[in-house]
Amino acid sequence: MVERRPLIDGLASTPAIDPQREKEFVYGTKPAEPPPVCIEPMAVPIPDRMPISTRIRGDFAAALKRASLERELNGVKPFAVQDILEQALEPWLKTNGYIA
């Protein structure tokens, strides 16, 4: 087994570090010139999907997960829980006039 030594002994045996190199590592090098300023506003892409959080009955959750896994094993699309929920919600939202 290797003989243990105090931490300070290990630190004292490290080679000397160039202070300039240390500053460059810690603070990074600054760019020679600032990045160009965009005059036109950039278009912000609208995300296709947004996260939502909700709770559903336990039997619904179990059935949904089982359907998802069985459909994936059988190669039937949609099989992802997210896609199944989207397909189920779309007719209700259309019927009630929330989407066109």
pLDDT in tens, 68-88: 999 999 999 999 999 999 999
Q: Return phi, psi of residue 60, to 5°.
A: -65, -45
Tokens linked to 30: 């600054």
Domain ranges of the chain: 58-95
pLDDT in tens, 13-47: 777 888 888 888 788 776 566 666 666 666 666 56
pTM of the full predicted structure?
0.51
What is the chain's percent helix, strand, coil content, to nearest 5? Answer: 45, 0, 55
d(CA 7, CA 67): 58
